[in-house]
Structure 1
Amino acid sequence: MASSSESDMSLDPETPLTPMADAPASSPLGDRPKEKRRRGLLRGIQRISSSQSLTHIGRPRANTAPYGNRVTLSCVSLAPTSPLGQNGPGTSTPGYFSSAPGTPAVEFPEFEGIETRLATRKVVNASTTCLNPGSVSLPQDLAATRSRSGTVRKPRYDFWANMPDEIRIQILSYLHPKELVRVSRVNKYFYKFCFDGQLWTRFDASEFYQDIPAESLAKIIVAAGPFVKDLNLRGCLQIEHHERAEIVAKSCKNLINATLEGCRNLQRTTLHSLIQSNDKLVNLNLASLSAVTNSTCKIISRHCPQLEMLNLSWCKHMDARGIKMVIRGCPKLRDVRAGEIRGFDNLDVAQAIFETNNLERLVLNGCVELNDEALKTMIHGRDPEVDILTNRPMVPPRKLRHLDLSRCSQLTSRGVEALGHFVPELEGLQLNGCRALTDSALEPILATTPRLTHLELEDLSELTNEILSEHLAKAPCAPRLEHLSVSYCENLGDAGMLPVIKKCVSLNSIDMDNTRIGDLVLAEATAMVRSRAARTSARGSRPRIGLRMVVYDCSMVTWTGVREILSWNARVRQPSGNKQPTYPTEVIGLKCFYGWQQTVEQHTQRVLRGDFAAAARLERKWAHYMQAVEEAGAVGAGIRRRRRRAREAQMLHANEEEGGVAAAGRRRARTMAASCSVM
């Protein structure tokens, strides 16, 4: 009866369960299997009755937990106890198990008086008689510190509005003009700062003049006018309207550099108003303006005392007398560009240029009226005193550094040789198209200009190899010469150019098209670049073009000379021993016969990106193709076989030019010519 009563009690959910430690010690041995079954049943009920909503809440059990066996713990009581000590609905006493859903039970084996060890915390809503399963009330001590009304949301910090104006301007200064206009559309605040004058001290419309409408251009200039110091409206035809031009002229008062080249529709009154209101102008470019006249030059001479550079090239409604007024009224003028201006045969203008002796750059290209007498007056002055011993005028040397006399067709050797001994600081000399010049005109100039770096002698058909081999190659400027142009000098050949290339080791550009040079010049140029350029062992380094050569329309240049340059550009040296291979740092950029130019450009592209193996393969296949073409042109037995080999070589070379992958289907027709028909 006792065992049956205990079994009934264990199955009755309303009856409190006693722990196993309270079982009578005098139970018979036969009751042990039942006791084990009862314990297993109790464990199953305990697992089923545990709340699923509390199993995943909180962090995992610590390794230092005071409980030795693996049991499931939950709060002892989540609801307040009644004052009479009775259990309310949904609650259980610490010493008993409960299978009611939503009330997690805890098993504390071998612990007595656990309710005294685990103090019960007071819970908010103590008057609640039943808790919602799966929810836990917040303890009262925590609820007192965190109230719903006490959580104040932190206001959003406006970073841009609280930033100093100086920093805003500095950030916006990194934007280009087009980007500033786009950013100004964000809001009125951005519009205000994007058109701040400090961001528009330099206004260059040459990059977007075709895209910006006239109204926007005028609005920008008006907004930033007092701050603009560098104004470039080159090619802007939008300001053709009189009112818009007047707005631009009235807004800009502090210009230092102004470029109005190509503004053909600019009115004369507007231009004069702009010049008169900017007395701090240093650089002024009015090239190709039809509004420029001698009266404009007079205004410049009166209102621009700080002027240093003036460009009046291709202004058709003025002459050299305007240049004279500017030279005399602007004492700081150093750069005058007056290409294709009439009236430079006037000796008064030449005397004004001589008296100033401040000019460092004088550009008179296309001034067809300039003659020997006027040029000599610019250098020696009128009736100079002559030294008896040297037979040279006793005048101070000129400060000219760049002189352009191209296409001054009336100049002869008698006038140009006057430059000798009087331009010691000359760095650039351009005499293109002065066909009457001979060797005697250049001999004194080359001997007395040690700083010469740029020399252009294009289309001087009277020059001979002697001026190059005996004078230029031995001149004091030879080691410093960087650019040389002898195009269309039909009498120049290998005899003159070989000494020049050997001595002028600083050359980085040389134009020799339409001359008599041959493959020896190309080979010598290769050797010169090889000797001056250091090689590197870094595999990932990329070479640069150190010498640019133009040799098209030269009948003596063959494909073998071109191959010499291509071969050296892609050469990787394998030194003896365990040393690493070396790679070139400088290569030659070549412009040759148009039938070979495509191969040369493809080869140069591969070299510049460091693919020397592909470049060498292209050069080798191109050489095989050129040899096959030459054999196919020979007469005699086997001509059909040679032509077949030429076609096969052409296909291989074409595939290599396109990256080494043959195209599917029939290829497009290619020319089989190996040389120009004119040659």
Structure 2
Amino acid sequence: SLKLKGRSNSSPLPLSALDFIPVSEDDVFVPIPFVVRNYFDEMLPRELQLQVFSALIALHERDHLRTIARGSWTVIKASSSKNRWVGKERGVRELVKLSRVSKSWKALVFDGQLWNALGLRPLPGMHKSQLLALSDIGGHFSTSLNFAGHVHLNTLSDITEKLCLTSPLSIPSASTQLTSVNLRGCINLTSRSLHHLLVRSPMLEKLCLKGLNVVTNTTCDILAMYCPRITVLDLSRCLNMDAEGIQRLASAFKARGDRLLLKELRLSGLKKVDDKMMATLGAVTPFLEVLDLSYSRKLHNSALDAFVALDEDQEIGDDVETVLLTSSELGRDLSDSTRYRRRVTRLRHLSLTSCVLLTDQACSNLVHAVPQLELLELADIGEDLKDDGLVRLLSTTPLIRKLDLEDAGDITDSVLAAVTPTQEDPEETSTIPSTSLVEPGQALEHLVISYASNIGDDALLTLVRRCRRLTVLEADNTRIGPEVLREFVTLCRLRKLDNAKIVAVDCRMINDGLVREMIPMTRPRLGLRTWDTRKLRYLDARDFEESDAIMKAAHGQDELDEKRVVIKTFYSWQGVDIVWAARDKRRKANAKRRANESSGGNETDGEEASGSGRGSGGGTRWWSPGGRRSRPSSGTNSPPAFPELNSDGQCVIM
């Protein structure tokens, strides 16, 4: 009940207003709590949350492409440490960082739907435990495995177990869903762990094991038995494997009556290559488009002949095209009336670089067998490569785009004539004709004739004028003259070819004056805007605010201008060195000027007369208060000033 207060002499009212306010035990000054709801975690379903995280990677990739298209991506930006990872790779790193927010976000980040392509290039320092956790959580969805460059990887067996799914009825044991595996550079692997992965990957289509010593001939047996869908295989520079392994791989398919689905086979540095292996390989690879046998020291002319040869009693499929050739067409005895049947392959790229036992007869053996050939590499074979075989082969390859004949010192103008179109356009236009390519040379883009000292200027001039797609001409240590260089640069600019390049190192007819004459249309190097090339210090016009600044820095030679032709000569290298020295000198001068301005430039005469230890700008003096120079150990420049440390009025310690 309300207790009434008696009337007093000092209060006119018997009751106070505070008597009606109830007493509360809580603090009335505590703010009312405002609950912020987490709509992302509480309202969105899990599938939409995963879509948001997936869009994070796509946005990073799209933003980088937009930056490049806008023209704001420069060498200085690319050289910055914060731009080491860009595009998709940066998005992956940011996605992993989000796993630190909460446990629920960590579960979302490492959901398998976001890691169907398990590529760890952006995460070179990932710990073993993290790698196993990622494989455990998202491995069941992974179809691609890229561990290239992870030299400390030694947990492949455990990762394989994490990637395995419960097997369907058609497969007797658990298997992965991997279709692409790249283990290049993983030098800590063991043969057992590698074979375990291959056995558990029956759907494998692409495999790169380049340079791994754990690859043996047994690896080829496992591929033949457990990986029948393989289409891209790179076993280059595997020192513990030789031609016997490839022989066993091809023989296993031949014995089963199957065909290898291989489209790309790279076997650079393969040892003990013989006719038997090449014949078996050619019989079971009707779909092969890329064959790399470079640096196979034992490869003979007869091995290439066996690769495309067909016996009379040999069974072939209905989809295999054949051709019947005479001895004269193969460059053999004209009096021989024997007819030879050859298999027409689908090869587009053939690399025989540094196969030192080959001669031009190897080219004759491939006549009419490679009509779709686009890239032919015959570098470092030497003087045994003559005109006859090359001319026979090139006359049957109208789609040739790249021809590498480096160190073929005995070839003459006849080889250039074989890849020079007969028709010459009366007028040069800015567009390339879209007519069907029927003549060798109409598609030629890259030609290497270095050390071919018997080639003359007239043949080169004709080729440059008629091969309208020619973008790269490497002719170092040849008799190339000034007219060829001028014509190539002029026509490339007229045809608007991007990233055109001519190499004329050690060419006596190319002098410093000619290179200087071409400066307005050329550049000394083919620059790149990447973090990996930051130490090459390319000159990018986008890094200069004023258009005249690039002229002062590098004589106007923007190394990132795609329209400028790259001229690679001795004098071009000298120009790069001169520009580097000028840039270093300018940078040191600017640094010295800034140091002078910050140290002694702000001191006035009145301040010097007063003997004060501090200048108006807060900089330290060049002289000690006692009138003597500072000790030699203090250096030639004054130490940096810290105004916040000298604000208490004390003297400055020099």
TM-score bucket (shorter structure): 0.5 to 0.7
Letter in 2 for 1:455: L
Letter in 2 for 1:313: S
- In our comparison, the structure showing a higher alpha carbon Rg is 1
Write out aligned runs for 1:148-547 (5 A): 155-161=35-41, 162-173=43-54, 174-175=56-57, 176-209=91-124, 211-240=125-154, 244-252=155-163, 253-327=176-250, 329=253, 331-382=260-311, 387=325, 391=329, 393-435=340-382, 436-468=384-416, 470-474=417-421, 476-533=439-496, 545-547=498-500
For the structure 1 residues 421 and 515, does the alpha-carbon distance in structure 2 shift closer, same or farther, using more than 3 Å as the test? same
CA contact (8 A) 1:487 1:511 kept: yes
For the structure 1 residues 611 and 546, does the alpha-carbon distance in structure 2 shift closer, same or farther, using more than 3 Å as the test? farther
CA contact (8 A) 1:550 1:590 kept: no
Residue by residue over 1:627-655, the C-alpha shift from the partner in whole angstroms, topping out at 9 and shown as x without a partner, is xxxxxxxxxxxxxxxxxxxxxxx999987
Distance in 2 of aligned mates of 1:169 and 1:350: 52
Distance in 2 of aligned mates of 1:558 and 1:336: 43
Distance in 1 of aligned mates of 2:521 and 2:278: 53
Deviation at 1:169, TM superposition (A): 1.0
Deviation at 1:408, TM superposition (A): 0.5
Deviation at 1:198, TM superposition (A): 0.8
Equivalent position SS for 1:261? coil
CA contact (8 A) 2:550 2:556 kept: no
CA contact (8 A) 2:398 2:440 kept: yes
Deviation at 1:389, TM superposition (A): 9.3
Deviation at 1:184, TM superposition (A): 0.9
Letter in 1 for 2:469: S
Distance in 2 of aligned mates of 1:621 and 1:157: 59
* Structure 2 residue 561 is matched with structure 1 residue 561: no
Letter in 2 for 1:208: L
Deviation at 1:205, TM superposition (A): 2.0
Equivalent position SS for 1:528? helix
Deviation at 1:407, TM superposition (A): 0.6
Residue by residue over 1:594-629, the C-alpha shift from the partner in whole angstroms, topping out at 9 and shown as x without a partner, is xxxxxxx9997449979776666789899xxxxxxx
CA contact (8 A) 1:397 1:422 kept: yes
Distance in 2 of aligned mates of 1:496 and 1:427: 22
Letter in 2 for 1:184: S
CA contact (8 A) 1:344 1:369 kept: yes
Deviation at 1:472, TM superposition (A): 2.1
Residue by residue over 1:107-159, the C-alpha shift from the partner in whole angstroms, topping out at 9 and shown as x without a partner, is xxxxxxxxxxxxxxxxxxxx99999xxxxxxxxxxxxxxxx9xx998753312
CA contact (8 A) 2:179 2:203 kept: yes
Letter in 2 for 1:367: S
CA contact (8 A) 1:520 1:561 kept: no
Deviation at 1:208, TM superposition (A): 3.1
The residue aligned with 2:67 is: none
Distance in 2 of aligned mates of 1:305 and 1:485: 38
Residue by residue over 1:172-193, the C-alpha shift from the partner in whole angstroms, topping out at 9 and shown as x without a partner, is 1234332232211111111111
For the structure 1 residues 507 and 590, does the alpha-carbon distance in structure 2 shift closer, same or farther, using more than 3 Å as the test? farther
Deviation at 1:657, TM superposition (A): 10
CA contact (8 A) 1:401 1:427 kept: yes
CA contact (8 A) 1:618 1:653 kept: no
CA contact (8 A) 1:566 1:603 kept: no
Distance in 2 of aligned mates of 1:403 and 1:295: 26
- Give the aligned length: 457
CA contact (8 A) 1:351 1:382 kept: no
Equivalent position SS for 1:399? coil
CA contact (8 A) 2:290 2:349 kept: yes
Distance in 1 of aligned mates of 2:16 and 2:587: 87
Distance in 2 of aligned mates of 1:653 and 1:216: 44
CA contact (8 A) 2:246 2:277 kept: no
Percent sequence identity is 29
Distance in 2 of aligned mates of 1:652 and 1:302: 59
Equivalent position SS for 1:370? coil
Distance in 2 of aligned mates of 1:621 and 1:334: 46
For the structure 1 residues 218 and 276, does the alpha-carbon distance in structure 2 shift closer, same or farther, using more than 3 Å as the test? same
Distance in 2 of aligned mates of 1:164 and 1:442: 65
Distance in 1 of aligned mates of 2:349 and 2:126: 37
Deviation at 1:367, TM superposition (A): 0.7
Residue by residue over 1:208-247, the C-alpha shift from the partner in whole angstroms, topping out at 9 and shown as x without a partner, is 32x222222222222222111110111223223xxx2321
Deviation at 1:515, TM superposition (A): 2.2
Residue by residue over 1:82-130, the C-alpha shift from the partner in whole angstroms, topping out at 9 and shown as x without a partner, is xxxxxxxxxxxxxxxxxxxxxxxxxxxxxxxxxxxxxxxxxxxxx9999
Equivalent position SS for 1:212? coil
Deviation at 1:426, TM superposition (A): 0.6
Letter in 2 for 1:416: C
Letter in 2 for 1:474: P
For the structure 1 residues 437 and 610, does the alpha-carbon distance in structure 2 shift closer, same or farther, using more than 3 Å as the test? farther
Equivalent position SS for 1:394? strand
Q: How high is the TM-score relative to the length of structure 2?
A: 0.62
Distance in 2 of aligned mates of 1:283 and 1:652: 45
CA contact (8 A) 1:589 1:604 kept: no
Equivalent position SS for 2:181? strand
CA contact (8 A) 1:548 1:590 kept: no
For the structure 1 residues 239 and 604, does the alpha-carbon distance in structure 2 shift closer, same or farther, using more than 3 Å as the test? closer
Equivalent position SS for 1:557? coil
CA contact (8 A) 2:323 2:344 kept: no
Letter in 1 for 2:157: E
Distance in 2 of aligned mates of 1:216 and 1:325: 39
Deviation at 1:417, TM superposition (A): 2.0
Write out aligned runs for 1:615-634 (5 A): none
Letter in 2 for 1:528: L
